[in-house]
Amino acid sequence: MSNIGSYKERLKNFDWSLAESELEYMDGDVINIGWYCSDRICQKGDGEKTALYYEGFGGVEKKFTFNDIRLASNSIGIFLNNLGLKNEDRICLFMDRIPDLYFSFLGILKIGAIVQPLFSAFGDESLFVRLENAQTRAVITQRKQLYKVRKILNKLPFLEFIIVVDHIKTKELEEKEISFSFEEAHQVEEMSIFPTRAESPSVLHYTSGTTGQPKGVKHVHYSLISQYLTTKWVLDLQENDIYWCTADPGWVTGTSYGIIGPWSLGITQCVLDSGFSAQSWYKFIEKYKVTIWYSSPTAIRSLMKAGDDLVAGYNLSSLRHLASVGEPLNSEAVIWSERIFGKPFHDTFWQTETGSIMITNLPGMKIKPGSMGVPFPGITGVVLDQSTFELLRGEGKTGHIAFRPGWPAMMRTYWNNDEKYREKFVNGWYLSGDKASVDKDGYFWFVGRDDDVINTGGHLVSPFEVESALLEHPAVAESAVVANPDEVNMEVVKAFITLKPGFTPSSDMKLEIMNFIRKKLSSLAMPQEIEYMDKLPRTRSGKIMRRLLHAKEWGEEIGDISTLEDD
């Protein structure tokens, strides 16, 4: 029996207070995610239950109980407090998926500060714009990332502390750098948890848009309510499950469902911190007897590519429920997983801004391969007319996916950018930026985005950010960046460039530019293909017609080109 039981029954008289009551939270109470994910589980008698199985590169294995994570998060919390860091300060996590990241996440929340998780593969420029925007006071990081922080330190006057979790005495610490070791830290049995309330800020994730710099999506501690319930009902986590969320906590899935959801339910989870290979993933599932697996379409398609024969070499019979997130899950992948694992991947749809799952295929319900599923109970999800923003009635009509605001995990604003936040709402609806149609049974079917943001491997990349970085290369005169179709990653970054006088197009130049972007922004943002142009298509007013380049890549109709510059 699944946790949700009957979807139809759950829709009747649904109220988020159900989750509040299960979490023993009452309106106006203190609510602190750090406490809920560690101390509360211990108080309920599960302190000795395994919270985390960790496996790193080279077979390093570690295991931590809920009591271990309670103590470790207390230790870092007190350490941060002693540095003078306090509630609502932004503290960035910039490291691989090591246990220290998970402990620090909870510790930061326990002192009432705001966690700013950033993907550890970001280059120094990507790191800089996000730290500058948030006016981050401290970064918790690893030795291997220090060179990036050092490069930008003098441009970040608000950054006071760089906390290194794996410092070795043979290396010199530089300005503002401090060592903190979880292994050597004094274990703090009791700490005074900061009394955050429902609307106290908790997590600040950055997301990319078509224009402008990345936006900081501000979440609050009350997000726990929908993260808890969606984890319970969509992912169906039950007491003895072993859960594996493959997402990195640098992105929202890795925190909402890679930390908060499972640990607020007191569930054991596994983390594999190494590069992707089909063999290592299957081996990991077999070894830890993973029962619930939450992954991404890119990973699933990579597993498909690795071949069916490979699966036969592993015992994956522990798997009980599979789900996917990040980009639309194609029907072939659903059918493949049903054939190979005996169960389908359940697609889920949500965003950094929504904080928790919005549209989903639920355990026990009929799966229509390729469909996003139905709105989660308590979520009013609709499609709106693309020009009038009125409700679209009738099946199969494409419109904007929109939600009625008010679910607990919804973002509260974009950091320092209320104006952009307000632009996300029309006629009382939150606009997701994605388009879909709805069939006669109420299932949503993804159509595409309504902007130029590139979804590569489930991660959003801003064409503007890449174009701006390209212009910083000494040889590049003009740049335009679009999505290119890709069978594994759905989309990859493609750049069109013109060169400055004196520079000659060559394959070596392309490589140089690719590496330039990879180091400056990230490997995700690195153009997988670069095309030289004599000139870029522009409107008569001088604006680059990205739409034209996109249509060329996707084999689409070019549409109206009446505003195209003549020569």
Residue 98 interacts with other proteins (CB under 8 A)? no
Which residues ranging from 398 to 457 are in contact with other proteins (CB under 8 A)? 456-457
Look up tokens 């291997």; give the residue: 144
Binding span for other proteins by CB under 8 A among 6-14, 182-190, 438-446, 523-531: 523-531
Q: Please give the single-letter amino acid code of residue 98.
A: I
Per CB under 8 A, the list member of 6, 15, 45, 57 interacting with other proteins is 57
Contacts of 238 (CB under 8 A, 6+ apart): 3, 267
| Alpha helices per DSSP H over 251-374 | 252-255, 261-264, 278-288, 297-306, 308-311, 331-341
Residue 50 interacts with other proteins (CB under 8 A)? no
- The Cα 67–Cα 181 span in angstroms is 18
Which residues ranging from 304 to 343 are in contact with other proteins (CB under 8 A)? none
Binding span for other proteins by CB under 8 A among 207-215, 441-449, 504-512, 542-550: 504-512
Minimum distance, C-beta of residue 290 to other proteins, in the bound complex (Å): 18
User: Which positions from 102 to 131 touch other proteins by CB under 8 A, shown as an x/- string?
Assistant: -------------------x----------
- Of 162, 170, 218, the residue nearest 418 (C-alpha): 218
Query: What is residue 304's three-state secondary structure?
Result: helix
CB atoms within 10 A of CB 362: 25
What does the block give as tokens for 196?
């955050």
Nearer to other proteins, 498 or 528 (CB): 528
Total residues at interface with other proteins (CB under 8 A): 30
Binding span for other proteins by CB under 8 A among 82-90, 106-114, 507-515, 548-556: 507-515
Nearer to other proteins, 140 or 513 (CB): 513
Minimum distance, C-beta of residue 59 to other proteins, in the bound complex (Å): 11
Minimum distance, C-beta of residue 208 to other proteins, in the bound complex (Å): 15
Nearer to other proteins, 144 or 500 (CB): 144
Nearer to other proteins, 262 or 527 (CB): 527
What does the block give as tokens for 261?
């959801």
Q: Please give the single-letter amino acid code of residue 522.
A: S
Residue 523 interacts with other proteins (CB under 8 A)? yes
Contacts of 531 (CB under 8 A, 6+ apart): 494, 495, 496, 497
Residue 510 interacts with other proteins (CB under 8 A)? yes
- The Cα 421–Cα 416 span in angstroms is 10
Residue 150 interacts with other proteins (CB under 8 A)? no
Q: What sign has the CA pseudo-torsion 426, 432, 437, 443? A: negative
- Of 319, 417, 412, the residue nearest 114 (C-alpha): 412
Residue 172 interacts with other proteins (CB under 8 A)? no
Per CB under 8 A, the list member of 176, 343, 449, 518 interacting with other proteins is 518
DSSP string of 437-479, one letter each residue: EE-TTS-EEEEEESS--EEETTEEE-HHHHHHHHHTSTTEEEE
Residue 179 interacts with other proteins (CB under 8 A)? no
Nearer to other proteins, 391 or 511 (CB): 511
Binding span for other proteins by CB under 8 A among 13-21, 31-39, 138-146, 378-386: 138-146
Look up tokens 């974009």; give the residue: 414
Answer whether 322's CB lies under 8 Å from 343's CB: yes
Binding span for other proteins by CB under 8 A among 130-138, 234-242, 475-483, 517-525: 517-525
Nearer to other proteins, 123 or 216 (CB): 123
Residue 274 interacts with other proteins (CB under 8 A)? yes
* Consecutive H or E run containing 481: strand 476-486
For 156, how many CA atoms within 13 A lie in the half-sphere containing its CB?
27
192: DSSP letter: -
Contacts of 283 (CB under 8 A, 6+ apart): 314
Per CB under 8 A, the list member of 175, 508, 534, 560 interacting with other proteins is 508
Answer whether 122's CB lies under 8 Å from 92's CB: no
Residues at the contact surface with other proteins, assessed by CB under 8 A: 57-58, 96, 121, 143-145, 147, 273-277, 280, 302, 456-457, 492, 507-508, 510-511, 514-515, 518-519, 523-524, 526, 528
